[in-house]
Structure 1
Amino acid sequence: MTRPLLNRRLAEFGTTIFAEMSALAARTGSINLGQGFPDTDGPEEIREAAVRALRDGRGNQYPPGPGVPELRTAVAEHQLKRYGLAYDPDTEVLITAGATEAIAASLLALLEPGDEVIALEPYYDSYAACIAMAGATRVPVTLRPHEGAYVLDLDELRAAVTDRTRLILLNTPHNPTGTVLTRTELTAIAELAVARDLLVVTDEVYEHLVFDDAAHLPIASLPGMRERTVTIGSAGKTFSFTGWKVGWITATPELTSAVRSAKQFLTYVSSGPFQYAVAEALRLPETYFDALRADLRAKRDLLSDGLERAGFAVYRPAGTYFVTTDIRPLGETDGFAFCRSLPERCGVVAIPNAVFYDHREEGAPFVRFAFCKRSDVLEQAVSRLQGL
């Protein structure tokens, strides 16, 4: 065969950096602060809810295509209680196989070849792959470090819009930088979307993981945005059950129907018994969410302080599971080389941020560490990193 086996739209992506670095962690016995998954399970009562659903025969066969009614209702209640956003659980909520499928289904449904998609760079690696699979073109707008945080240049965002722009792909709280977009920034994005008649797909899986004075604001709640926004949520990060792969979208009936048309040919349905458990999880008391934030804030500070002592420049995040660091104070400039050598040097695995950039040079000296681990594991990692 003279033609490559892999679809040329995917040829640039290869194996994800997460698979590579997790394999490196296993091979070297290193502490894996690369991939963003907790090393403890979520609430016992939610695990028991999944067991109860299994035993009761709920979800063991194909669940309804849009998701079980109990979870769709719980998602709608969550959006109304938290943000004042009213959605019809029957026509405006769709359950997906995690946020990753929600992203894929949304982009495959809403994009055509020739469309352009603006994404905030650095971005989660599946964004680029899904845009490519849809035959569209990604247009990165780069978040840049400024005074200890990453910021969006709104003029650069406006300049990126062309007559071919179909949608803006947002992520807030933002992975990997930990930025939480402000009301001012989101209002400017909303005004741009309305003025240029753009769709917005917004990945808000870290909505409950915000710290200090940061506050999560869904862009769908701003004027003119509900009718043009697909909002993506997920149970994995909020409840520490990432393996269950339960996500969702909320949107108008027209947008939800479009996304469902693509989703039905991906997994069709998934996570039957877990959907019932997540419905209960979304109704946990506020004390659960407060304790989650407090625990992760303490772990953020533990790791951030240790990284600073080890010589990194640290961008302390306002949200998510991740701390971004600058390795130049250590005399390093190549994040890929640094991360590939780090396990041998001190037994810790991290992720080079450059993999999340189209403009690789913008991300070259930055490295991401995950702090969603047990405190004793983070303390051990910090101790090892002092050897740098």
Structure 2
Amino acid sequence: MRELDVVVIGAGQAGLSAAHHLVRVGFEPDRDFVVLDHAPRPGGAWQFRWPSLTYGKVHGMHSLPGMELTDADDSLPSSEVIAAYFDAYERRFGLRVHRPVDVNAVRDGERGRLLVETSKGTYAARSLINATGTWDRPFWPRYPGQETFRGRQLHTADYPGPAEFAGLRVVVVGGGASGTQHLMEIAEVATETHWVTRRPPVFREGPFGEEQGRAAVAMVEERVRRGLPPQSVVSVTGLPLNDAVRRARERGILDRLPMFDRITPDGVVWSDGRAVDADVILWATGFRAAVDHLAPLGLREPGGGIRVEDTRAVRDARVHLVGYGPSASTIGANRAGRAAVRSVTRLLEGVPA
């Protein structure tokens, strides 16, 4: 068992930002703190993005603190561009990320320490910065008859790009940015596509400025403060109405259907008798926070979420969540990493939060 001041779980944008700020204030990697990441290589969740998501299609990618991402080729897959950038960042600042390491559970230990149980042993930490994001917890809704479907069902987390859907009939479920991107790509090669969402999509005209950004973050932050699960970004910002989306709407690709009532062996049906045959159902239904390893600490509120103030878990001031709720964006993750390190430093110095 290794005793450390801080354990950082996750080496995506939020985890690397936190690690960077720990180094800046004097913590030494592998002596005072350790960064654990379950992914096989640098890049966070970006390394798993589908190949057709090129860097030029990425919205609002902010550089990590202290090192800009410059001269990126917009035509390359974002998975390659951002993974290479994260790799260079880790090496430049000597962050020494340990991977692949699976964190199985975090428990209360002796002398006020947290026991971080992993596939490579146990760490006893005075504080924890959790930056595990959402990619590992794809959300699959359940509908009657789902198990009878004879075609293929997959989630955004498994999306391989449009080529595999050539000549097929595809139902895309989900009103977020990923769903619309998948649909517009697949429509170019599929025989037939249908777009199904629970709520009518809201398309946002004009630029998304600082004022709108603050309002969106405030709405998500309010839910987190109340101990509710964070909402998706699109639920509070709407979908950007760019040229590609306008063209897709004109062609009828983004004509939305309400949510179906059940799934049959051959497709989906609605209670009014409408039916659509399908070879594939693609669930672009988002993700949930990957925080199951924190369950032994009892951080969840009755509403199902973890109540967080600033980055501190209200039920345990030793635990900080970054990239969670209002900080689940690249710029939010940067700020949360810095805030978490400030709070951790005060905690370790014995100053009340």
Same fold (TM over 0.5): no
TM-score (norm 2): 0.30
TM-score (norm: length of structure 1)? 0.28
Larger proportion of strand: 2
